[in-house]
Amino acid sequence: MQRLYLFHQPRHNVAVAANNSTSRSFHLAQGLCEPEVLARTESDIAKMQRKDIEEQLDLLKTAINEKQPSDNVISILTKLKAEVVPTEDILRSTKAGMIVAKQRANPDKAVARLASEIVSKWKTMVEAEKRRKAGGAGAKTGTASPSKNVDASSPAPAPPATESDEWKGGDPAKRKWQEDGVDIKRTGVPTRDNCVGLLYNGLAFMSKASSTKVILKGMEVEKAAYTKYKGDTPEYRAKMRSLFQNLKNKQNKDLGPRVLNGEISADRFVVMTHDELKSAERKKEDDELQKDNMKRAQVPMAERSISDALKCGRCGQKKVSYSQAQTRSADEPMTTFCECTVCGNRWKFS
């Protein structure tokens, strides 16, 4: 039984036929001389990735040395973050970790934060790969230590929090996209971008969530509102201001975390009423106030009569309403409370 392997090259195709006999004969599809088996192994892929990484690192070093605009540096770092699948060998041979880590001290806050996120991500992925390989080796050899066997029956521990999972800046009450070095130009429309920034400031208020998490959630909420209110309409702008004010309300400190962790979805958040946005404490206070007002409204008021026998000392009119109440001891005469219905003058007498 023969197997046929086809390998595509930029200038020619090579067909290699191999049988199970002791000596293998190779045949070229187009009569090329000196046949060669072209195998794409894992090491070949690693070499290609290493080359791509080195090219990006060279561009990064050039951008830093030539003091190019921060946007260029961020573009290179973003590509490294998105496309590199790090291994311990690749990071060591290319020194990618060291080069990127230096940018954590970059004066530009956006560059520094992105570099920190990349280093943290790579570290987590490399450690996860180590654990995976260690687990696979243990399963094959059956030589896992007793302590590992005990742990195997229990749920795997959650991975430790990384730098990208939590914001480690100064006072969270002063967080803004400007201070965090976040780019809010995400939609290409200035009004919408400003709303993204407004939502970022609201969601980041008193929050320890990473800038990446906050900006992504802000974009999600803005998009939901833009869709719900059919574009840049007065309703859309009013809702953005309302959401921001509720997020910044110190008495409603649970609202932002509930939106960030997904308890309140973006689609739900943008249609919540003023009462629904209130905190549980505020709702309780309002309910108690409403009950108190109801009780007050049900208290019977003293009946008032109108008499033409009483004369107002201010305007001289005889259109005076009055009521009587026992304000002193029972054997004392009642007090008469008077109010002129014309000028509003009030007086009393016993």
Give the tens place of pLDDT for each residue, 268-285: 999 999 888 888 888 888
pLDDT higher than threshold 80 for residue 111: yes
Average pLDDT of 240-253? 91
CATH 2.20.25.10 fits 305-349, yes or no: yes
Domain ranges across the chain: 1-39, 45-137, 174-281, 305-349
Strands 13-18 and 3-8: antiparallel
Strand pairing partners for 305? 322
Average pLDDT of 297-304? 60
Q: Which residues, at least 6 apart from 346, have a Cβ–Cβ distance to it below 8 Å?
A: 337, 338, 339, 340
pLDDT higher than threshold 60 for residue 162: no
**Taking the model in full, what pTM does it have?**
0.41
Domain 45-137 fold is: Transcription Elongation Factor S-II; Chain A (1.20.930)
pLDDT higher than threshold 80 for residue 229: yes
Confidence of residue 320 (pLDDT cuts 50, 70, 90): very high
What percent of the chain stands above pLDDT 70? 75
pLDDT higher than threshold 50 for residue 15: no
Query: For 119-140, what is each residue's pLDDT tens digit?
Result: 888 888 888 777 777 766 555 5
Q: Write the CA distances from 49 to 43, 97, 120, 258, 281, integer angstroms.
A: 10, 15, 20, 40, 55
What's the rounded Cα separation, in Å, for the pair 47 and 253? 51
